[in-house]
Amino acid sequence: MHFDAPLDLDSGARLEQYDLVYETYGQLNAEHSNAILICHALSGHHHVAGTYEGEPRSAGWWDNMVGPGKPVDTRRFFVVGVNNPGGCNGSTGPSSLDPATGKPYGSRFPFMTVRDWVRAQARLADHLGIHRFAAVMGGSLGGMQAMQWAMTYPDRLGHALVIAAAPSLSAQNIGFNEVARQAITTDPDFYQGDYQAHGKLPERGLRLARMLGHITYLSDDAMMEKFGRELLKQKPAFSLDVEFEIESYLRYQGDKFSQRFDANTYLIMTKALDYFDPASETEGSLSAAMARAKAGFLVVSFTSDWRFSPSRSREIVKALLDNGLNVSYSEIDSSQGHDAFLMENGHYFAVIRSYLDRVASEVGA
């Protein structure tokens, strides 16, 4: 969908015009009351569920969660997935052509905040005829968007599902993001963000950023279960060749990602994560920041998630309870680390299913 009206951003910059690419699943009911918005995390996009015709390996990133008969049941709900502005999967972002110059935005694309994304999503909802979402949901950075919806548009959603999120990044979280950004920006092929104009891509930096990211998405235990200390060959090579299974996995993930993702988008996404801190606008009180919220909340965390640990989710729960809101909280036993929010897990899926059953009956879906 093309938007001609400019989008004013928290940074003071303005997107004069932009496209958002989105997908929908299921049917919007007559009352337009059964819509669920799915917000994506760092490297996600609009293609949440389903498989494209003739492309059997194209399943959406949350296809286990969203679909007919699945926890987010598309026989009952009208589900919307959207690639956020600043992204690199079809929506206007730094790798798009700037209509003013006919060249890629590159370094001229503005940094964005979670609130900017929520504003852009609300405009998309306007165009889709959705005044109020039955629910807004997401994991990790997506969960932060669900929180932000409840603060920015308290009357435009019934429920917020905040999964594996945090009310702000810790210094350690910011540190990991910063190493990833430095890997990208010090890559000689980065050209201050204008690598496309130079016919280059900072693939080395993006690859390192992704390798590091993957370590933080998994728990130490999950990595030991999956890879252990297994050597690819029987004996140490005493060389820089890949030796351990975990090295092979990380290199593969890094290679794959560096060929599909845009480096400037990675910088924008990590900066938005760093900036997210609603309490900073209310003298450090998350409770005060959430005072405008009216939604019902489901907050979910995973025991082995050391990136956004359960204690961070409990901070959110406390702030919501301080405001007398309806909150369900579930701490899911999992060894999968932060990645657990993307993985099938009986207890987790049952919690989402049962919560959305209630939402469905509220909205007559």
Marked catalytic residue, from 305, 313, 334, 339: 305
Shortest CB 11 distance to a copy of itself, Å: 4
Which CB, 97 or 237, lies closer to a copy of itself? 237
Q: Please state the closest distance from residue 186 (CB atom) to a copy of itself, in A.
A: 5
**Binding residues among 4-43 for a copy of itself as defined by CB under 8 A:** 10-13
- Region binding a copy of itself by CB under 8 A among candidate stretches 82-90, 120-128, 151-159, 186-194: 186-194
Residue from 251, 256, 347, 358 in contact with a copy of itself (CB under 8 A): 251
Task: State CA 149 to chain mean position distance.
Answer: 14
181 lines the binding site for a copy of itself (CB under 8 A) = yes
Kindly give, in sequence order, each residue whose CB lies less than 8 Å from that of residue 70, ignoring residues fewer than 6 positions away. Answer: 49, 64
Cα–Cα distance, 251 to 24 (Å, whole number): 34
236 sits near a copy of itself (criterion: CB under 8 A): yes
For residues 289 and 302, the answer to whether their CB atoms sit within 8 Å is no
Spell 3-21 as b/e; 16+ CB within 10 A means b. Answer: beeebebeeeeebeebebb
Label residues 218-248 b or e (16+ Cβ within 10 Å = b): bbeebbeeebeeeeeeeeeeeeeebbebbee
Q: Which is nearer to a copy of itself, 30 or 171 (CB)?
A: 171
Distance CA 138, CA 69 (A): 19
- Cα 162 to Cα 46: distance, rounded to the nearest angstrom: 18
- Are the beta carbons of 134 and 158 closer than 8 angstroms? yes
Q: Could you say which residues in the range 123-162 bind a copy of itself, by CB under 8 A?
A: none
> Is 168 a residue that touches a copy of itself (CB under 8 A)?
yes
Among 208, 273, 316, 363, indicate the residue that binds a copy of itself (CB under 8 A): 208
Of 269-298, binders to a copy of itself (CB under 8 A) are 271, 274-275, 277, 280
- For residue 107, the 8-state DSSP code is G
Catalytic (active site) residue 305: yes
Q: Of 131, 132, 204, 314, which lies in the binding site for a copy of itself, with binding defined by CB under 8 A?
A: 204
- Any catalytic annotation for residue 63? no
Strands 66-67 and 72-73: parallel
Positions annotated as catalytic residues are: 140, 305, 338
Binding footprint of a copy of itself on the chain (CB under 8 A) = 10-13, 110-111, 168-172, 174-176, 178-179, 181-183, 185-188, 193, 204, 207-208, 211-212, 214-215, 218-220, 223-224, 226-229, 236, 238-240, 243-247, 250-251, 254, 267, 271, 274-275, 277, 280, 306
